[in-house]
A = this chain, B = another copy of it.
Amino acid sequence: MDNKDLFNKCIALLTSVHRVTHELTQNAKSDSITPVQYKILEYITVSQPVTPSEISDCQNMSMPNTSRELKKLSEKKLIEKLSDTEDRRKQYIRLSKDGEILMKEAFTTIESRFQDRIQNASKEDLQEIDRALDILQTKLFY
């Protein structure tokens, strides 16, 4: 096993991960938001509070486009904007009550599909999977 083989194996996993992600998430999100808006909400969910600049950086989106999408999410009452009291140029974005509900529903769907996927795994399998996740998280996808 040289590094070239490892690369190919890794690419194969990336492909599978993308396919499974699609299976887990398709139709899980509300129809009232676009894919990009869902991605933003997902990011806010795990990192809130966040600034528009951070969203722009992490989602590889220009500031103008980030601003536009945040405005739409705000109009849909899914997020709230709070301005920083120290630096009044900055804003902090967090999910609104409705946003929390929407994301909770999406995650419930996704988790139930995930549980289906691992329902046939034995206790030993689950332990192996758990360990494998740790290894890849720390050593490859850091």
Contact = CB atoms under 8 A, between A and B. Distances in A.
* Oligomeric state, in copies: 2
Contacts of A115: 3, 7
Say which size band chain A's interface belongs to. 35 or more
Interface stretch (A74-82, A83-91, A129-137): A129-137
A30 interface: no
B6 A111 contact: no
Interface stretch (A48-56, A64-72, A96-104, A118-126): A118-126
Contacts of A21: 14, 18
Interface of A: 1, 3-4, 6-7, 9-22, 26, 46, 60, 110-111, 114-115, 117-118, 121, 125-137, 139-142
